[in-house]
Chain A
Amino acid sequence: MNILNKKPIRSSDTASVSPGSMYEEVPLITGNQTFSSVTEKICSIVENDPPKMWYVLFGISLSLLLMLVGSVGYLIWEGTGIWGLNNPVGWGWAIVNFVFWVGIGHAGTLISAVLYLFRQKWRTSINRFAEAMTIFAVICALLFPTIHVGRIWVLYWFFPIPNQMEMWPNFRSPLLWDVFAVSIYFTVSLLFWYVGLVPDLATLRDRAKTKARRVLFGILSLGWRGGNRHWRHYELGYLILAGLSTPLVLSVHSVVSTDFATSIIPGWHTTIFPPYFVAGAIFSGFAMVMTLAIIARKAFGMEDFITIGHLEKMAKIIMVTGLMVGYAYSMEFFIAWYSGNEYEKFTFINRAFGNYAWGYWIMVSCNVLIPQFFWSRKMRTNVTVLFILSIFVNIGMWFERFVIIVSSLSRDYIPSSWDYYSPTIWDISVFLGSFGLFFTLFLLFIRFLPMISMTEVKGVLPQADPHHDMYHNSGDK
């Protein structure tokens, strides 16, 4: 017990580093945490009654979710005609929302898999809830194509199930690849998240005060006892899952981009789409992680775990991916001119100055101009600024998909078929409702499961280093 409660000793070998330097060794977890204080702090959220604010937020989310259920019910009853879709704009908000939500999910996978492979230890404080966010975002995303099919009762036609009609899905269609890509993504993300949870579930089991909790967490923790062999298998399994998830970060949104890029619609058919969509997905996902992290650390007093250092690093990633997205916008624009193709040229000039110019400039301001504030360290370390800017990025990335999808469709090859798309009340209610679904799931998650990985956070504490002082002179206090 003496060892577990021992306070870490601050290292002083960073004296030559000026404050503000990236090389300044800021502790990842502040507040002189010990192994037991980490467990105590994180488990207490799950084991005690949540703050009042939680009930308020949950009430709002649940109401939005109910609105979603009602709207979807009416949609299934009446058909997709209740949306503002027209000819030629056959894909409206529903597909915008689909791409928006799939994109949000990508940050979770990047944090949990890619940053793990790059040995970025700061990920430990944010990976758990970022992965949860991924799963819930993908659930929201899957909702939209599901209800968009119109005849939802024949949804199983998506899957290549042998049947007496000898009818198969069209394997050449990117829409079918989406089914596979997104469902694989969901499965792997869920597995990865669950595997990471196992040691923490065992902690909850061991701390359980009621029989029901003991049994429930006992089943979920799969008999985890923290033995040497358990850890060895766990670490290996985690590494393999990280390796498997990494290509998924690229593949899922690449496949989503082919929904558009394989067509020959100007503004959709361009070769940069796959990596451009991936960069945009990570960009929007990090903005959402930032929004959620800032709320969660404030609401549950997690400032020692999700420090300003974590937020600053996320801000940097947002800026980098924002610049990538800006690069893609400029390449598209340049090549549209360079191609000499009048349809390409028209599409891009129409985007910037035509009927949806307002959407285009919201997109450019939110995604390219506003993240430039992050060049300044002052901005990157100001929580209020970070929160506001992360919201702007979320808005900007929704508009990016709107601009891509709607502006290209509304002005197709034949001027006589041009039309303007406006959403109806049902477009809006389903979209807002999807936030209800997302936040209901997310709030349930932080209420019932540890939102920060206790095991991984303990691994980055100074005491976790086998050469730490306390193991050498454990006699003194």
Chain B
Amino acid sequence: MNSNENTNQLANENTGKISFAVGIAGILLCVVGYLKDPEQFIHSYLVAYMFWVTICLGALFFTLMHHLTGAVWSTVLRHILDAIMSTIPLMAILWIPIGFGIHDLYHWSHASAVAHDALLQAKAPYLNTTFFVVRTLIYFIIWSFLSIKLIKLSRSAVTHADLDRMRKVSAIGTVLFALTFSFAMFDWLMSLDPHWYSTIYGVYLFGGAYLNAFVIIVLIVFLLKKSNILDGIVTEEHYQDLGKFMFGFIVFWAYISASQYFLIWYGNIPEETIWYKHRWVGSWKTVSLTLVFVGFVLPFIILMFRSVKRNLTFLTAISLLIFAAHYLDMFWNVMPGVQHHGAHFSWMDISTFLAISGIVFGFIWRSLVNHPIYPSKDPFIQKSIAFKNF
């Protein structure tokens, strides 16, 4: 099947339009929310924003790994990854509300708070508004450069030399990604509680980000398959590999979060344990335990079965579960800083989620529609389509 026919078929679909409509409705609700309670709004917004930005960056990392390892099984998925990555510049624009909400989100940004706090004074060379914004700018310049460059190369790649070029970008890109991603997570999430610190924090967020790159691919493949696109191209062999990676990175995410929790619990130093203490108050206890169960135990058991990994419907259901866990993870990272007595969900959590999801997914879909759905001219495409697990 010609890959251009696929896209024509996609153009008749309403998915993109629906997505944008949901996004715009969400934005309108957000405006109402902002006028009503700006502090609640900006925290809900940060949760939804972190949910999507980590997924887009996870897709970038997936692409880097794909090229760096010379993987063939994922070649058929490369243009889907391109579509997800193409929203990284958009994520820079969506960051602007966080920049404006800096005083509501980050305690350290208040000069009066710093004046009475020796620790914040010590951290001021790093945690100050100007440097914070400059750093964010640097992160997005690097990520946008990498994603735009890789997408451009990916869409025109026909020879081995093209693949080599992408691999070279990916080698440098991986090093840049590791540093920028970690510091971005320190800045945007860890500094919500400016006294608290953890060396593994960047790796922890990375675990969830990379995991959810696999998840969103499964969801997109599910939607495409519903319109009979990619039939015979992305097969159950590819589902199984996606499922295996999901299983692997569920364990990785759990391993990293358990390492962080366990060492802090065992060390029992108040300046570290306070972060978990906030997440063990009142109904936060339930949220914490739910996260362990939904984020690790349940998908871990279910994904062990080969038949689940090879069935797209099952795999999609599990993907939605992991998606929900990822949202909860972000919620659990952001909210306890302001909700000291227990978790409560606001309608603004939904409206900010709809707004960002609608817009981001709309753009992902638009990119899928406007470009070939799989790299039909790639030198390894036949091998990738015919790929079999052992």
Q: A271: which of B119, B186, B199 is its contact (CB, 8 Å)?
A: B199
Give the distance to chain B from A141, nearest Cβ to Cβ, in Å: 22
A53 at interface, CB cutoff 8 A: no
Give the distance to chain B from A255, nearest Cβ to Cβ, in Å: 11
A367 to B167: give the CA distance in the assembly, Å. Answer: 24
Give the distance to chain A from B314, nearest Cβ to Cβ, in Å: 21
A375 to B122: give the CA distance in the assembly, Å. Answer: 38
Give the distance to chain B from A335, nearest Cβ to Cβ, in Å: 5
* With A271-B199, A331-B182 as contacts: A18 and B269 at CB distance below 8 Å: no
Is A331 within 8 A of B199, CB to CB?
Answer: yes
A178 at interface, CB cutoff 8 A: no
Is A262 within 8 A of B266, CB to CB?
Answer: yes
Q: Mark B43-80, 1 if CB is under 8 A from A, else 0.
A: 00000000000000000000000000010000000000
What is the chain A residue whose CB lies nearest that of B70? A22
B305 at interface, CB cutoff 8 A: no
A258 to B255: give the CA distance in the assembly, Å. Answer: 13
What is the chain B residue whose CB lies nearest that of A323? B175
Chain A residues near B266 (CB, 8 Å)? 258, 262
Q: Mark A1-40, 1 if CB is under 8 A from B, else 0.
A: 0000000000000001110011110000000000000000
Q: Size of chain A's interface in residues, with CB distance under 8 A?
A: 35
What is the chain A residue whose CB lies nearest that of B199? A272
What is the chain A residue whose CB lies nearest that of B265? A262
Give the distance to chain B from A238, nearest Cβ to Cβ, in Å: 11
Is B198 within 8 A of A271, CB to CB?
Answer: yes
Q: Mark A361-378, 1 if CB is under 8 A from B, else 0.
A: 000000000000001000
Q: Mark A263-299, 1 if CB is under 8 A from B, else 0.
A: 1100001111111000000000000000000000000
A261 at interface, CB cutoff 8 A: yes
Q: A275: which of B197, B203, B262 is its contact (CB, 8 Å)?
A: B203
**Which of B119, B161, B197 counts the most chain A CB atoms within 10 A?**
B197
Q: B197: which of A22, A23, A119, A339 is its contact (CB, 8 Å)?
A: A339
Assuming A22-B164, A261-B263, A274-B259, what are 19 further A-B pairs, CB within 8 angstroms?
Answer: A16-B379, A21-B160, A262-B267, A264-B269, A270-B199, A270-B263, A271-B198, A271-B260, A271-B264, A273-B263, A275-B200, A323-B175, A327-B182, A331-B202, A332-B199, A335-B197, A335-B198, A340-B195, A375-B171
18 examples of A-B residue contacts, CB within 8 angstroms: A17-B160, A21-B160, A21-B163, A23-B160, A23-B163, A250-B255, A258-B266, A264-B268, A269-B263, A270-B263, A272-B203, A273-B259, A275-B203, A275-B259, A327-B178, A338-B126, A338-B186, A341-B271
Contact residues of B with A, CB < 8 Å?
Answer: 70, 118-119, 122-123, 126, 159-161, 163-164, 167, 171, 175, 178-179, 182, 186, 195, 197-203, 251, 255-256, 259-260, 262-264, 266-269, 271, 379-380, 390
